[in-house]
Amino acid sequence: MLANLANLLRYRGLISSLVARELKARYRGSVLGFVWSFVNPLLLLLIYSFVFTTILKNNTAGIQPYALFMFCGILPWTWLSTSLAEAAGSLIAGGNLIKKVLFPAEVLPIVSVLTNMVHFFLGMPILILFLVIYRRPPDPWDLIWFPVAVVVQLVFTTALALFVSALAVHFRDVRDILANVLTLWFFATPIIYPMSLEAVQQYKKLFDMNPFTHLAVSYQEILFYQGPIGHWKWLLAIGGVSIVLFLAAYWVFDRLRDSFAEAV
Amino acid sequence: MTNAIELDHVTKIYRRYGGKQFATLKSALLQRSILRDLQPSEVFSALNDVSFAVRSGATYGVIGRNGSGKSTALKLVAGITKPTSGRVRVDGRVSALIELGAGFHPEISGRENVFINGIMLGLSKREIQNRFDEIVDFAELREFIDAPVKTYSSGMYMRLGFAVAINVDPDVLLVDEVLAVGDEGFTHKCLDKFAEFRRKGRTILLVTHSLGLVEKFCDEALWIDAGHARESGDPKRVVDAYLTAVEHTEESQLATTTAKAVEAHGEGKDPATAAQPVPPVPTPEGRWGSREIEIVDVAFLDRAGAPGFVFHSGDPVSIRMRVRARQRVDDFVFGVGLFNADGICCYGTNTGLEQMQAEQFAGDGEVTFAIDSLDLVEGTYKVDVAAHKHDGYPYDYHRLLYTFRVKSRTHDVGIYRPHHRWAFSAGIRFKP
């Protein structure tokens, strides 16, 4: 397992070119091309702004402008959820490679995660732009924590992606289960409501058990809330958990590896 | 001399998981059968205790029927699957021409796919850059290299895949029946490339159905049958052993079909009912006639007089009919016709046409139509045999009930092969 893990570093050229290929292929044939990566989050943000300032006014104190608050959580959530949904199908879709070519299978779910990370990064400038427009620029000192949060989420997402993709080879309905679990998970995480909500505080212990709670809150503190980061201990703890999770997921993946070529 | 590839008592068992299509995670969890479902319910051994070694620099052919385990052996050598037991050892960089263009992305251009495919096969970006022109020229795709791969024809797709894979410049090249890739010209280019590999002292493992290629190209060959290594060594010997076995199977198949055809057409029928108002001449196959003379049995005999169904072009063959006349008959003609698979009559004759005047026949007898040299091209042939009156009134007519097969090492074409030889004047020389 450790040898395979070390091999992963050797595949970085392969991984980066596959990520580049996914990104290129994603917009190939469209007129706007790469611009869509900016336009998509922009339109989403405009829709949220309109809905929550005009139609369904959300006046909860402390999270104004609400659309921006929500967006701080939605961007990383989209990275996680889309990565997992894509990773679940990645081994099956790449079956030809696994069956016919000597190909390191773990590259496929990792490519799904990294491709969506790039989309996440492309959405960030839009968010920052609006934060500046609304005169709530994030504190530069807070932003030091941003890379930490990204790395933690990267490890966390990769761990889950490896696990889900390996399982989906043997149980095709993992993909459907996953879609529903993700919906539940989304609403169980303080993304469209703040952690400070009274109802949330009531069940704080439960919320604390949800790893993505701490990621979402960290992003919100880094980008949205003014003032110092209070959540960094949780963030680092989740980082530690993620590393353990990653090793466990990789172990499972490695154990199932030989069955892929036959079961895909 | 070292070995580039070694398989040591390798067994590969494929497992079929119980009711796999219906096994879902939910049901597995609900019925607590998750452990049981992951246990194989049915096993299929694709390879059974197979050992062979390929010398470094040798070209090694693997032949065998479909589903015999050839491709599994190749995948084991490539490292795509792992042996269930035994050991596989490969020395040096391996490139497998198993599925050409696996991993091409249809939306992006041929150029980008060459790079990504090359990286997948273990080349660095710089190496691909250096070989890019060679790859594109080899694939004959210069004009189309910037078009998305989805616009390629399947031939173009395969050519590009082949060009990339062959330019990986491996120490060990694994080839699985990919020479059917392109047109004649491209196939020649591929063969030239293989020859170049051989000259460079690289090792080639070739899985193919083209026996000629194995005889011509390979230093050694292996015949795998139903997962067992049956014969290995000199390609000519292995190919011969394989062909003989194929003939045996064909023999038994032809024997069965013939027996069925004869049985279906009235062996046990009462002669009276069989004597229908007779002659539906262009019937596809069947048996009719009044049975005053009955053809009881028909056999093809080889040189030694042993019955068989598969013969080689040029062999002597006899068609022997056992006949029986219940009463004395003094008007009779015996005839034979040979038809090829297209239904074309290759040859037909009878004793009447050959000016033999019938005198009398009663009781049991044998009629043998002896062919000194079976000058037919390779193929399956059907045979008519008949006994009838001089005016055509049928006693017993067996139409296309008997089948035999002609094998030939030369794949010449046509309906029959005239006995021939070539002669050349002094200036025209052939390689020995």
- Same-domain pairing of B206 and B295: no
- B109 to chain A nearest CA, in Å? 10
Host H or E run for residue B325: strand B317-329
Interface test with A, best of B71, B80, B172 (most A CBs within 10 A): B80
Chain A hits for B98, CB-CB cut-off 8 Å, are: 100-101
- pLDDT of amino acid A40: 84
The chain-wide mean pLDDT, for chain A, equals 88
CATH code of residue B197 = 3.40.50.300
- Domain count for chain A, please give it: 1
Task: Find the chain A residues whose C-beta atoms sit closer than 8 A to any C-beta of B.
Answer: 13-14, 17-18, 21, 24-25, 28-29, 94, 96-103, 167, 170-174, 177, 258, 261-263
- pLDDT of amino acid A189: 93
- Domain count for chain B, please give it: 2
| Residues A126-153: b if buried by 16+ CB within 10 A, e if exposed | bbeebbeeeebebeeebeebeebbbebb
Under 8 Å CB pairs connecting chains A and B tally to 76
Q: Which of A102, A172, A173 sits opposite B79 (nearest CB)?
A: A102
- Same-domain pairing of B53 and B144: yes
Classify the complex by whether its ipTM is higher than 0.85, answering yes or no: no
- pLDDT of amino acid B34: 55
Residue B190 lies in a domain: yes
The domain in which residue B314 lies consists of 283-407
Residue B387 lies in a domain: yes
**A100/B98 touch (CB, cutoff 8 Å), yes or no:** yes
- Entry pTM: 0.71
The domain in which residue A254 lies consists of 2-263
Interface test with B, best of A92, A101, A173, A180 (most B CBs within 10 A): A101
- pLDDT of amino acid B282: 47
Residue B13 lies in a domain: yes
Residue ranges, chain B, pLDDT below 50: 19-22, 267-282
Could you list the pLDDT tens digit for every one of the 264 residues in chain A? 777 777 788 788 888 888 988 888 887 777 777 788 888 888 988 888 888 888 888 777 778 788 888 889 999 999 999 999 999 999 988 887 888 777 888 899 999 999 999 999 988 888 888 888 888 888 888 888 999 999 999 999 999 999 999 999 888 889 899 999 999 999 999 998 898 888 888 998 999 999 999 999 999 999 888 877 778 889 999 999 999 999 999 999 988 887 887 777
Q: Helices B110-120 and B125-139: crossing angle, nearest 10°?
A: 120
Nearest chain A residue to B26, by CA? A173
How does DSSP assign A53-103, residue by residue? Answer: IIIS----TTS-SHHHHHHHHHHHHHHHHHHHHHHHHHHHHTHHHHHHS--
Interface test with B, best of A17, A91, A181, A255 (most B CBs within 10 A): A17
Residue type, B335: G
Say if residues B146 and B109 touch (Cβ distance below 8 Å): yes
Q: What percent of chain A has pLDDT over 70?
A: 100
CATH code of residue B396 = 2.70.50.60
